[in-house]
Structure 1
Amino acid sequence: MPADKPRKIEIREFLYPGHHDELLRVLHEHTRKAGNQLVLSVSEACVSVWPLNLSDYEPPSDKLQERDRVKFTIREDRHPNLFNLYRSIGLGSKGQIFCNLLNRHQMQRAENFESVNDAVAKMHARQLGVPAANAVEASLPAAEPALKVEVGPTPVMETHVELEKVAQAEAARESDQKPAPAVIPDPFAGMPPMTFS
């Protein structure tokens, strides 16, 4: 029996220069597939830190006539927070509200890169089942290897003390070693090409 296909939401909406500048900039700098995945991954990581707020309900100004059509596909298995958030918004201009949220998260990425980068790293660690402490430590430079302790011919009592120290050093070194980071799947792999027409 084939596995159930993941549920997905397609958002077809317009972005307005002057209102969605940061989102448009990212989407124009990357291919459609890569741009969409970057935007959705950043927002999936950021939505718990910077949730939907009243500013996201503000429509673009009537004076803004130029617009670009976009399409985002949110899959429940890849972006569960965004999927559930979109479904929770009442009927109306859901797509525009969501585009405003995505734009705000891209603004955070531009203004507060380190915090957004940390949020994305933690999100990927959760998805891979890596404890948060290991995810942070995996990004730090590796510690220098422990010094070797050699035991030479010494009286029995001193040898016992040295062996105890060696065992403690080995235990400390083993506890300091971190598991190798898992291979992170490409989040942009499943996105179709993006067109701006």
Structure 2
Amino acid sequence: MDEDTTQCSFLKRAFPPGLEDEVSIIEANAARTAGPPNDLDDYTKRWLTVGVCLHTVISPVLREYILPILIKLYYRLTVKCQIDKQTYPFHMKTYLSGIHVDLNYETINMNKDIFKKRTNQYDYRVKNPVDLSKLFLQTHMTKYHAIDDSCDSTALLGIIININEFPTTVQTNAYTVSIIC
């Protein structure tokens, strides 16, 4: 029993006697900050404010604005081009309406994940307006499942810029914001 007691007291005191006081002094003098050591400069604060406003104020309004236009375009393309029944090689490859946009089918129906670059095996059926919106964007921008909070401001701006169903002034402003941010 005496050996157990001495071993426990030895384990409790891992620091030499003076070192514990030095650690306490260093700890007391160290700055206690959770973020950067200096306060954020005005330029950084402005960009943070712009980002917060874009995410919390502008994006929800854009989502409500974009969805009805996507639904109408999807319905029109379903009737006119039968995009919901497309197969290779008779699928719609580009969207020609004012601007030329190559449609990105790897973003829908898990085509990129399943078939990689074998485009002849892709599932070209566009099943809903959300899938339609993804055709106009780069692959890394299409990680959303609905036009909701999962669809970020970059994707929203890209949809507006690439689909000419939106008024020219709205497209121009979306392009300007996308360049600035």
- The TM-score range, normalised by the shorter chain, is under 0.3
- Which one has a larger percent helix, Structure 1 or Structure 2? 2
Structure 2 length-normalised TM = 0.21
Structure 1 length-normalised TM = 0.20
Larger relative contact order, structure 1 or 2 (CA cutoff 8 Å, min sep 6) = 1
Q: Which has the larger radius of gyration?
A: 2
